Chains A and B, each alone.
Chain A
Amino acid sequence: MNDATQVEAARLERQTDEGAQELRRVEREVVVTGGLWPDEDETTIVNMGPQHPSTHGVLRVMLELEGETVLQLKPVIGYLHTGMEKTGEELTYVQGATNVTRMDYLSPLSNELVWSMAVERLLDVDVPPRAVWMRMLLVELNRMASHLLFQATNGMDIGALSMMIYGWREREEVLRLIETVTGLRMNNNFIRPGGVAADLPDGFDHDVLAVCDLVEKGVSDYESLLNQNPIWIERMVGVGTISREQAIALGASGPILRSTGFEWDLRRAQPYLAYDDVEFDVIYTQNGDCYDRFLIRLYEILESVKIVRQCVAKMPGGDYRVQDRKVTPPPRARIDESMEALIHHFKLFTEGFKVPAGETYVAVESPRGEIGCYLVSDGTGKPARMHIRGPSFYNLQTMAPMAEGSMIADTVAIISSVDPVMGEVDR
């Protein structure tokens, strides 16, 4: 091997992309010997992504194939790494919600919720009941929107293209509802440490119930369209199976864990907010395949509708945020007449409030599983460390055992049924 080939090999090695260690080794041999793929190696390596229609964003998957059978699957991530944990250390606790909400962009309110709950635990602040119920209402609405989106994209990935349109149709209505409360369709920054940003608008009850009816009707449409559809069943049943032991070992949570016959939902197991006071069922199935995960997400929409209805019925009155001027800003009107209110307002939005030194981990159930926030404070107005345990990040690892031995066409169904949100995986 002369110098030129060495240089060439080094150049190619640099050009091959990150994370594909196995692949790179083979490529080096190819470059060095100058030949084709080694004869004894009958497998093909196929790269999917990061720009691929079915990979839900910028997920990249390396597949080792023998014919059309997948021998190995390796997810390669990091294409959406945004450095949010670093940015989070430079933002105050008030601003932090703006940051975390952009991680899991399909359920931003869950992110805000877990962040706010972590900050509140460090502050030892109790949130007034109306804020608790409002949070629950919004998070469940968000869960509906997220699962509706799953129905749309999952349908598109499997080939039921009309699902794409139907899913968006209902999701749009839910988003419009969220917009009337929070002012934004996504990345709401509405749940903040100490409560929520604003009260519910007038006439909200009526709108919510109307949307609930609409979503229920949508779900029954999907049921009749998909549940017994032979093509759908052919593509989904028995595809991407995972056992309960594997799912637990790989750190899976949410619908993936529940699809393996394990009734585990943090809303029920370790209740937060007011989930103790509402009635809902934890949906779980036994087979651990793509079809089960689809069913779980479909019927969780109905459970969320149930919770939302109860929230509307039981919504308590009172404050929607803590009346502690060190944590929440004074009402806008007070700023004009009170010097103190002005100072509080100014301090809160420039320096933020100080949080006593300490550390905590808080977890809630997001549409994708357990989202956790590990928060470390050093007594200043900005966190010393802010770490979000994204459920998709861990769930992604279950793709490898699911895909092993399946056909390459099933990989798309498997990726889709894991429902990863790359913003949360890469943060």
Chain B
Amino acid sequence: MGMEQVSHNFLTGRLEDLVRWARRNSMWPATFGLACCAMEMMATGGAHYDQARFGMEVFRASPRQADLMVVAGRVSQKMAPVLRQVYDQMVEPKWVISMGVCASSGGMFNNYALVQGVDQIVPVDVYVPGCPPGPETLLHGILTLHEQVRSGEILQRRGEGRGAGIQIAQLDGQPVAQPTGVTLSPTAR
């Protein structure tokens, strides 16, 4: 193979593993703090819980530089289009953690103002329970997501079982812009 000429040590492996490893270990979250949970999200980034251990200390202000959106807090009807826009601005591959009961299901606020679960707007990968979830809980959610990334496909989103059987419809009736190579349909795999 002509390897005799290589003077350095090297390891062989699969490209897929390398990509997963890279994705898992440098997953940058977008700063998307909404309510109480945002405080706990920031606490997770603080000195005591130190998210940097997982390569996640860089909260990116621009969604275009982020891989992970932690929806931290209650999503109001007014915020929903903004949230969707931020999600659309993120580049693939991207993941969503729904942090706290309000984001996951509306929580105790089942009323006119809140979207009852952010999974009606964006596909959710991991739900983190709690009101608000403590930093430990969020870290557990993040590790769960890392495990999903580590064992997942690199070119396709895992359709089935992702989120809660979501049908994504654009709010004003426009068709959803599908990034190439990625399917969001719950049935496709």
Chain A interface (Cβ < 8 Å from any Cβ of B): 15, 18, 50-53, 57-58, 78-84, 86-87, 98-99, 102, 105-106, 149, 152, 164-166, 168-169, 171-172, 175, 185-187, 422-423, 426
* A165/B47 in contact, CB under 8 A: yes
Interchain nearest-CB distance for B60 vs A (Å): 9
- Contact bitstring B28-39, A, C-beta under 8 A = 1, else 0: 000111111011
Question: Are A186 and B36 CB-contacts (below 8 A) given A80-B73, A82-B76, A169-B46?
Answer: yes
Contacts A79-B78, A81-B113, A106-B39 aside, 10 further interface pairs with beta carbons under 8 A come to A53-B59, A83-B109, A87-B109, A99-B108, A105-B35, A105-B132, A168-B42, A171-B43, A186-B40, A187-B36
* B48/A105 in contact, CB under 8 A: no
Chain B interface (Cβ < 8 Å from any Cβ of A): 31-36, 38-40, 42-43, 46-48, 59, 61, 63, 73-74, 76-79, 82, 86, 108-114, 131-132, 134, 172
* A426/B76 in contact, CB under 8 A: yes
Question: Are A186 and B108 CB-contacts (below 8 A) given A57-B34, A80-B79, A105-B36?
Answer: no
For the complex of A and B, the 8 pairs showing the least CB-CB separation, nearest first, are A168-B46, A83-B113, A105-B36, A83-B111, A53-B61, A79-B79, A172-B48, A169-B47
- Of the residues A15, A98, A149, contact of B108 by C-beta under 8 Å: A98
Q: Which residues of B contact A78 (CB under 8 A)?
A: 76, 78
Interchain nearest-CB distance for B42 vs A (Å): 7
* B82/A83 in contact, CB under 8 A: no
Classify the secondary structure of B's interface with A: loop
* B35/A57 in contact, CB under 8 A: yes
Report how far A232 CA is from B61 CA in the complex, Å.
23
What are 30 inter-chain pairs, A to B, with CB distance below 8 A? A51-B32, A51-B63, A51-B82, A57-B33, A57-B34, A78-B78, A79-B76, A80-B34, A81-B76, A82-B113, A83-B109, A83-B112, A83-B113, A83-B114, A86-B112, A87-B109, A98-B108, A99-B108, A102-B35, A102-B36, A106-B39, A165-B47, A168-B46, A168-B48, A169-B48, A171-B46, A172-B46, A185-B134, A186-B39, A426-B76
Report how far A185 CA is from B135 CA in the complex, Å.
10
Question: Are A82 and B109 CB-contacts (below 8 A) given A50-B79, A57-B34, A185-B134?
Answer: yes
Report how far A169 CA is from B34 CA in the complex, Å.
22
Report how far A164 CA is from B31 CA in the complex, Å.
15
Chain A, residue nearest B106 (CB): A82
Report how far A51 CA is from B108 CA in the complex, Å.
24
Chain A, residue nearest B33 (CB): A57
* B132/A187 in contact, CB under 8 A: yes
Interchain nearest-CB distance for A93 vs B (Å): 16
Interchain nearest-CB distance for A144 vs B (Å): 15
Q: Which residues of A contact B131 (CB under 8 A)?
A: 187
Report how far A166 CA is from B134 CA in the complex, Å.
19
Report how far A82 CA is from B110 CA in the complex, Å.
9
Q: Which residues of A contact B77 (CB under 8 A)?
A: 81
* B78/A18 in contact, CB under 8 A: yes
Report how far A84 CA is from B107 CA in the complex, Å.
12
* B33/A87 in contact, CB under 8 A: no
Q: Which residues of A contact B43 (CB under 8 A)?
A: 168, 171-172, 175
Q: Which residues of B contact A52 (CB under 8 A)?
A: 61
Report how far A418 CA is from B86 CA in the complex, Å.
26
Q: Which residues of A contact B108 (CB under 8 A)?
A: 87, 98-99
* B38/A80 in contact, CB under 8 A: no
Q: Which residues of A contact B109 (CB under 8 A)?
A: 82-84, 87
Report how far A80 CA is from B78 CA in the complex, Å.
8
Q: Which residues of A contact B113 (CB under 8 A)?
A: 81-83, 86
Report how far A307 CA is from B111 CA in the complex, Å.
40
- Of the residues A18, A53, A83, A168, contact of B47 by C-beta under 8 Å: A168
Interchain nearest-CB distance for B170 vs A (Å): 13
Report how far A15 CA is from B172 CA in the complex, Å.
9
Report how far A53 CA is from B63 CA in the complex, Å.
11
* B39/A149 in contact, CB under 8 A: yes
Chain A, residue nearest B60 (CB): A53
Q: Which residues of A contact B63 (CB under 8 A)?
A: 51
* A58/B112 in contact, CB under 8 A: no
Q: Which residues of B contact A422 (CB under 8 A)?
A: 35
Q: Which residues of A contact B114 (CB under 8 A)?
A: 82-83
* B76/A57 in contact, CB under 8 A: no
Chain B, residue nearest A49 (CB): B82
Report how far A172 CA is from B86 CA in the complex, Å.
30
Q: Which residues of B contact A172 (CB under 8 A)?
A: 43, 46-48
* B134/A79 in contact, CB under 8 A: no
Interchain nearest-CB distance for B71 vs A (Å): 11
Report how far A309 CA is from B129 CA in the complex, Å.
36
Report how far A191 CA is from B43 CA in the complex, Å.
24
* B111/A86 in contact, CB under 8 A: yes
Chain B, residue nearest A98 (CB): B108
Interchain nearest-CB distance for B112 vs A (Å): 6
